[in-house]
Structure 1
Amino acid sequence: MEPDTYRFIQQREDLWNFIRLNPEWYRYLTRDPSRIGKLEIEAKQFYGKTLPQRMEKAQQNIQMIRMLMQMAGSWND
């Protein structure tokens, strides 16, 4: 692997851990270092950090809060 690519991955703990869990990416980057952008996209999807995934999680949290508020309201009656 090229030294610049290796240093970049070492600086990003999320990418470092993603490669440890998916060792095929080490081979991909050794053969073609320009795939670093694809690695970042795959890691974001893996960790649930894409915009649609974050919006879905926020929506689930809002629904849970609403449910808890309804439950708390029904106890007061």
Structure 2
Amino acid sequence: MDSDTRIRLREQPELIRYVRMHPDWYRQLSRDPESFSKLEKEAKVFYGKTFPQRVERIGNQLQMLRLLAGMAKSLDE
């Protein structure tokens, strides 16, 4: 793995964890350092940091709040 790739990995601890969990990436980055952007995209999907995943998570949280508010309201009556 070239030094630029190692430096970029050190700057992003989540990527280091992802590469350690998926060791095939060591080989892929050693052979093709240009695939670093592909690694970043896959790690975002894995950690749930893509825009659709965040929107879904917020929607789920709002649904839970509505449910709790409904339960609290029914207890007051």
TM-score by length of 2: 0.99
- Root-mean-square deviation (CA), in Å? 0.4
Structure-2 residue corresponding to 1:4 = 4
Identity of aligned residues (%): 45
Q: SS of 2:49's equivalent? A: coil
Residue 73 of structure 1, CA deviation: 0.1
Alignment size in residue pairs: 77
Structure-1 residue corresponding to 2:48 = 48
Structure-1 residue corresponding to 2:28 = 28
Structure-2 residue corresponding to 1:67 = 67
For structure 2, the 5+ residue unaligned runs are none
Alignment deviations for residues 46-65 of structure 1 (CA, whole Å, 9 cap, x no partner):
00000000000000000000
Which contiguous aligned blocks of 4+ residues in structure 1 show a shift greater than 6 angstroms?
A: none
| C-alpha separation in 2, matches of 1:9 and 1:27 | 14
Q: SS of 1:18's equivalent? A: helix
Residue 12 of structure 1, CA deviation: 0.3
Alignment deviations for residues 10-42 of structure 1 (CA, whole Å, 9 cap, x no partner):
110010000000000111000000000000000
For structure 1, the 5+ residue unaligned runs are none
Q: SS of 2:66's equivalent? A: helix
| C-alpha separation in 2, matches of 1:20 and 1:9 | 11
